[in-house]
Amino acid sequence: MPRRTAKSTASKSTAFSSVLVPKVTSKRFYGHGLPRCDVHALNGKLVVVEGADGSGRSTQIARLVEWLEACGHHTVQVGLKRSTLVSEELELAQQGNILSRTTLSLFYATDFADQLENTILPALRSGSIVLADRYIYTLMARDLVRGMDESWLRNLYGIALEPDAVFYLEVRPEMLVQRVCAKNQALDYWESGLDLGLSRDMFDSFLKYQGLMRDTFRRLQRVYGFQIVDGQQAPNALSEDLKRKMEHVLRGS
């Protein structure tokens, strides 16, 4: 076995000297938060990429992860319906379309809480950069469009940690429909808002529903102050834009 020499140790430290160590900034929950969580121990960064179906979230998160990891950062990814606790049951319940709006909402909140407690907070404690493919804003917007009470939702999601940054990729519904059809050759029942009875025509329903979602996101943006990013830019221009914004997050500026 080759022994590590002083030279190899030195060159290793030089190689890593250019890593931008994320500046630790204070964190807080939106409301009551989770019990027994010391926010001062959360050294990592939580960055959320929000946007409609087909807005380019997966594409951009994959590029950010590749770039961050190449820069020496450890990343962790989370997203909706990815909890080990209830994601499978939630998927089944949605296929059957048997739950009331409130029950479905609470199911999603459970999925979120499980990931917060068991993935997001431990990763932040260990100094990782957590990239969230959607967060509480999509969940709130979906419920608000369906007429649920805003103060009830705000209280429910008072458990959520305030992210270091939220990038909302805004794309016109007419462009979304083209992207989703090109990618999946079909529109999704829920993402077309078919449960709302906006139109009998699925395309028309998708356009109307996504228009309502965009209006609701703009309203939430004024409350939560996240960054609206032009998701209609070419993928490379958009990634450069997001990398610049991410650098600010790492510097704590």
Binding site for ligand ATP (CB under 6 A): 51, 53-59, 179, 182-183, 233-235, 238
- Residue 53 CB, nearest approach to ligand ATP (Å): 4
Report the residue number, 163 or 231, with the smaller CB distance to ligand ATP.
231
Question: String of b and e for 109-118 (b: at least 16 CB within 10 Å)?
Answer: bbbbbbbbbe
Q: How far is the CB of 49 from ligand ATP (least distance, A)?
A: 8
Cβ–Cβ contacts within 10 Å for residue 55, how many? Answer: 23
Torsion of CA 76, 80, 82, 84, to 10 degrees: 110
Q: Where are the alpha helices (DSSP H) in the chain?
A: 6-16, 57-70, 87-96, 101-115, 121-125, 136-145, 150-156, 173-184, 202-224, 235-251
**Least distance from C-beta 56 to ligand ATP, angstroms?**
3
- Say whether residue 59 binds Mg ion (CB under 5 A): no
Report the partner that residue 6 touches, choosing among ligand ATP, Mg ion, none (CB closer than 5 to 8 A by kind).
Answer: none
> For residues 43 and 58, which CB has a smaller minimum distance to ligand ATP in the complex?
58
- Nearby residues of 29 by Cβ (< 8 Å), 6 or more positions away: 37, 39, 158, 159, 160, 161, 162
Of 58, 110, 118, 233, the one binding Mg ion (CB under 5 A) is: 58
From the list Mg ion, ligand ATP, none, partner contacted by residue 243 (C-beta under 5 to 8 A by kind):
none
Residue 120 touches which of Mg ion, ligand ATP, none (Cβ within 5-8 Å per kind): none
Q: What is the closest distance, in whole angstroms, from the C-beta atom of residue 58 to Mg ion in the complex? A: 3
* Spatial CA neighbour of 42 closest among 26, 29, 31: 26
Residue ranges in contact with Mg ion by CB under 5 A: 58
